[in-house]
Amino acid sequence: MFSGERPVVWLEESLSIAARRVWAKSDYYSDDWLPLWRHMADSGSVAGLIWDEWLPRRVKEIIAESLPGEQDDARLLAVWLATSHDIGKATPAFACQVDGLADKMRDAGLKMPLQKQMSDRNMARHGLAGQVLLQQWLVERFGWARSATLQFAVVVGGHHGVAPDASAVREVNVRPQLLRTPGCEAVWQGVQDELLDACASACGVEERLVAWRTVKLSQPAQVLLSALVIVADWIASNKDLFPYFPDAAGVGDEERVAAAWAGLNLPAPWRPQEPECTPEELFASRFPLPAGAKPRPVQEQAVSAALAMKSPGLMVIEAPMGEGKTEAALAVAEIFAARSGAGGMFIALPTMATGNAMFPRLLDWIGRVPGTGDGDQSVFLAHSKAALNEDFVELMRRGRHRLSSVDQDGAPAKEKRTLSAELIAHQWLVGRKKGMLASFSVGTIDQLLFMGLKSRHLALRHLALAGKVVVIDEAHAYDTYMNTYLDQVLGWLGAYGVPVIVLSATLPARRRRDLVAAYVGAGGQDVGPEPEGYPLLTTVEPGRAASSRVVAASGRGTAVQVERLDDDLDVLADRLDTELTDEGCVLVIRNTVKRVLATAAHLRKRFGEDAVTVAHAQFVDLDRADKDADLLRRFGPPGKGTARPDKRHIVVASQVAEQSLDIDFDLLVTDLAPIDLMLQRMGRLHRHQRGAGQIDRPPRLRTARCLITGADWAASPPEPDSGTCMVYRRWAPLRAAAVLEPFLSGTAASGTVVRLPDDINPLVQAAYGESRVGPDAWQDALGQAWQEEEIHRARQRQEAETFRLGGVGKPGRSLLGWVQAGVGDADDTPAGRAQVRDIRETLEVLVVQRDSAGVLRTLPRLSKNRGGLELPTHTAPDSRVARIVAACGLRLPFVFSIPSVLDEAIAELEKLYVEAWQTPESPWLAGELVLVLDENCQTRLAGYALSYSHLDGLEVTRVD
């Protein structure tokens, strides 16, 4: 009998010969195999250990809420479902696959056709077959209503990642011969019932199965049970942990399971403790504040609001750039986690670059939080280039260990591990589908949006997030398509009771209300009155109306003088020549890479090569990381090892300089853009105090000024650059011009001065609101732009619906067809990201160079002696060199996403096929497309000329 925390145990001798001969797994390269009864016991035992030692408290509570016996019932149910999950393998459709093992079953009376005689056997895959058999058993043995069985049995049906749909169930029901061979039905059913009886007895659920007949299991509970069974099955299926026969023969259940669990060595979840100190003391202990510094008002008020909430829910923090919203979110997350029973945290950011910047900050915070040092804490960087991040790679190296198994004598094998660390990227938790299960993770917003995408193993992503606190940064940065997914995800997070913290400096009121309504869900909870004021904290507790409080500003402020600048490169150069008479640091932000490169080339002619730096997204990964580091080193906060140029310098950048980089300039030139992004850009202007009254800045630049260009200002209304319209369309830039018009014309109350943060909220709400803005002569054009915008948004919403997950169903409604008509696997790949972003699939390449002698090499001028290394073509490069090549990934620009161009480009790239690189020994390079540049770092691809430089990145021009 199953009792307490002991493994699921049954005596082999208690089973019939036929039941003992049903097989679950076989080794293709040997005669080793694993009986079904043994795999069932292994899976159930693992599920019990997962429940006891790994699941966060909140996940257990969600499952328990639906059951009469609460936590005790929840554990029994999880273990029983995991033990029973593979009953569908006791069918002819599955067993016929391996002739030798099928013959042993035939000898025991389980007759079945040969595999080639069962052409339709895939209609009864073992998960689906198990669901049907379990339903029949519950009806016949325990008197369940058939409709009530499905909410439990669907967990078995979906244990390979996709819950069956109604049509699949119909197909197997009209093919009973796939479940029991005709003429031998009684023998097959006898074995199936015998195994299910043994599962129930071993797990001690016979009496509970009577009590559960009237249970209405919530859909969140069904999802989490499905995920738990998947994880238990994956662990129990690992041959290193659970050896097959003959090695497993004679090994006791307890020894086998204990050795396997010790070998897996899963880090326990975070068990947070609620801070027992003042907000000021909390911030002093968690963040390295300067001597005498105190938390800013928004930070103190966020903590106070979190402490005042009886039950953690949603918190939206709206505050200016540089006010410490991230630190506020981490402090609130610690409180929310302790009160909700969360076992970790996920921080979602707009891009890989912002994720990389956040990762070391998270690690630093974890190191200061009490309770995280009690044992290893699993950490994950969740994006497709994570394995190239040096901080994450170091954690993987420290956390790597060999999974131990069981020797033939039953003694645990010697475990081989590197030195343990408090923070580790655990080997088992870094797989593409398992990484988000780590306790702490940072990643792109895609990883969160995937929770709302119909895809294989979606339950795992729900399990990963249901037990965490979720932080969503830069919430204003997502378009209608992405927000359609985000709103659905928030509904599921609300149903799970996941605390969510949303951060933004420039959030439209309508979008704030949408976020609150999405989290509240279909329950009709009051979203509260529309708040006014800024900075603003909005909180939502389960079952209560949303409430908001205006927070005092920190006193930090910047008065930014704004003015128009003609969109002419000579005009720009002349103006900068005037402004930089002595010295000074200027940031020029363009809306397209094409404009960045054209501007930089023109300014270099006037100011010299060394006076101009370029930054945009079309650099290879290594150069992009070096660019970010260089910007921080030269233009970051004072007193942090920065080496600010002592002469005039101009940085020409795309939107990469808009967010998450703590950089500070004396003068800003920006293309016209949506108002929230314009204000983000202004946040890079006089961001830090440089001497009293900014006296350490050049005399002409001690007043913050923003020159707005990228538009034809003589037109009425102004006509944005064509590239701007391609990126942002017309409505948002025109509304930005309209709300800025009083400042640009000097008719605002403050003249030409935009005051940050005072004017942030009024400008954002006016630009994205429904009120009339701008001169009368602009209204027809603004109206036409809005009609175009509405059509675009409607298209985005409609297209997002195609693969978007439905909302949370009523308790008792099963997950049957939950992800029907989904996308299959959804990973952080170009194809995966295209599902949750309104983008075409992009083409990504690894960039190398062929020198004049025909030798392949890594790109020249890579930092840290990584440039110009020879790449062998008869063998795979060693791991270090291969990793350097992998770190030279580059996403080609939009033009290569056009289907005809994409197909032509792929065909040309596939001509360079280095066979020696396409092996398991070369995981960094296998299957990747390689772009080969000549000795001048140039090439042609699909009718375009490509040129790459360490200074300017990729430049693409059409070849006539």
**Is-contact 930 840, C-beta < 8 A?**
no
The pLDDT score that the predictor gives to residue 408 is 28
Q: Mean pLDDT throughout 361-382? A: 77
The pLDDT score that the predictor gives to residue 958 is 92
Residue 240 in this model has a pLDDT that exceeds 80: yes
Cα–Cα separations (whole angstroms), residue 189 to 87, 91, 130: 11, 9, 12
The H-or-E segment that residue 794 falls in is helix 779-800
Q: Write the DSSP symbol of residue 918.
A: S
Residue 249 in this model has a pLDDT that exceeds 70: no
The pLDDT score that the predictor gives to residue 589 is 98
Residue 567 in this model has a pLDDT that exceeds 90: yes
Tokens of 440: 């702490």
For residue 654, the one-letter residue type is S
Beta bridge partners of 756: 558
How many CB atoms lie under 10 A from the CB of residue 270? Answer: 26
- Least confident among 184-193, 352-361, 447-456, 759-768: 352-361
The Cα 442–Cα 469 span in angstroms is 12
The Cα 844–Cα 840 span in angstroms is 12
The pLDDT score that the predictor gives to residue 407 is 29
The 10s digit of each residue's pLDDT in 21-57 is 999 999 888 889 999 999 999 999 999 999 999 999 9
Query: Average model confidence (pLDDT) for the chain?
Result: 88
Q: Write the DSSP symbol of residue 954.
A: E
Question: Within its chain, how far is the Cα of 487 from the centroid?
Answer: 15
- Among 410, 476, 473, which Cα is nearest to 447's? 473
The pLDDT score that the predictor gives to residue 532 is 79
**Residue count (the chain):** 960
Beta bridge partners of 891: 844
Residue 374 in this model has a pLDDT that exceeds 80: no
Residue 523 in this model has a pLDDT that exceeds 60: no
The pLDDT score that the predictor gives to residue 405 is 34
662 falls in which pLDDT band (50, 70, 90)? confident
Residue 515 burial (10 A CB sphere; 0-12, 13-18, 19+)? buried
Q: Report the alpha-carbon angle 632-634-637, nearest 5.
A: 60
Measured in Å, how far apart are the chain's first and last C-alpha atoms?
Answer: 79
For residue 222, the one-letter residue type is Q
**Is-contact 708 562, C-beta < 8 A?**
yes
Tokens of 515: 């976020």
The Cα 136–Cα 142 span in angstroms is 10
The pLDDT score that the predictor gives to residue 562 is 98
The H-or-E segment that residue 560 falls in is strand 558-564
The pLDDT score that the predictor gives to residue 748 is 95
The pLDDT score that the predictor gives to residue 421 is 32
Strand runs labelled E in 610-679: 612-615, 649-653, 667-671
Residue 73 in this model has a pLDDT that exceeds 90: yes
The pLDDT score that the predictor gives to residue 413 is 34
Which single residue is written with the structure tokens 């200027």?
A: 586
Residue 524 in this model has a pLDDT that exceeds 60: no
User: pTM of the prediction?
Assistant: 0.90
The Cα 459–Cα 230 span in angstroms is 9
- Least confident among 1-5, 15-19, 744-748: 1-5
Q: Report the alpha-carbon angle 859-864-865, nearest 5.
A: 55
268 falls in which pLDDT band (50, 70, 90)? confident
478 falls in which pLDDT band (50, 70, 90)? confident
Residue 250 in this model has a pLDDT that exceeds 70: no
Q: Mean pLDDT throughout 222-249? A: 89
**Percent over 70 (pLDDT), the chain:** 89
The Cα 382–Cα 345 span in angstroms is 12
**Sign of the four-CA dihedral 244, 246, 249, 255:** negative
Sheet of strand 944-949, all strands in order from the earlier edge strand to the far edge: 938-941, 944-949, 953-958
839 falls in which pLDDT band (50, 70, 90)? low
The Cα 385–Cα 348 span in angstroms is 15
**Is-contact 768 508, C-beta < 8 A?**
yes
Residue 704 in this model has a pLDDT that exceeds 90: yes
The 10s digit of each residue's pLDDT in 490-506 is 999 999 999 999 999 99
The 10s digit of each residue's pLDDT in 571-599 is 999 999 999 987 999 999 999 999 999 99
Residue 280 in this model has a pLDDT that exceeds 80: yes
Q: Write the DSSP symbol of residue 685.
A: B
The pLDDT score that the predictor gives to residue 4 is 44
More confident residue, 667 or 369: 667
Residue 769 in this model has a pLDDT that exceeds 50: yes
The pLDDT score that the predictor gives to residue 347 is 95
The Cα 329–Cα 318 span in angstroms is 11
Q: Mean pLDDT throughout 266-282? A: 88
The 10s digit of each residue's pLDDT in 677-702 is 999 999 999 988 898 989 999 999 99
- Least confident among 201-210, 292-301, 411-420, 914-923: 411-420
The pLDDT score that the predictor gives to residue 554 is 81
The pLDDT score that the predictor gives to residue 248 is 64
Tokens of 331: 């402090």
More confident residue, 389 or 156: 156
The Cα 698–Cα 667 span in angstroms is 10
Q: Mean pLDDT throughout 641-649? A: 85
Q: State the Rg of the chain over Cα.
A: 31
Residue 172 in this model has a pLDDT that exceeds 60: yes
The pLDDT score that the predictor gives to residue 2 is 38
Q: Mean pLDDT throughout 270-286? A: 89
Residues 6+ apart with CB under 8 A from 180: 91, 92, 188, 189, 192
The Cα 69–Cα 76 span in angstroms is 10
**Domains identified in the chain and CATH numbers:** 17-262 (1.10.3210.30), 279-402+417-550 (3.40.50.300), 558-617+631-756+772-791 (3.40.50.300), 840-958 (no CATH)
The Cα 150–Cα 56 span in angstroms is 26
Which single residue is written with the structure tokens 């049907």?
A: 132
Residue 429 in this model has a pLDDT that exceeds 70: no
- Least confident among 419-433, 451-465, 512-526, 931-945: 419-433
Alpha helices in 660-750 (DSSP H): 675-682, 722-728, 731-745
533-536 contacts at long range (C-beta below 8 A, 24 or more positions apart): 533/761, 534/318, 534/319, 534/757, 534/760, 534/761, 535/297, 535/298, 535/317, 535/318, 535/319, 535/320, 535/323, 535/757, 536/316, 536/318, 536/319, 536/761
Q: Write the DSSP symbol of residue 858.
A: P
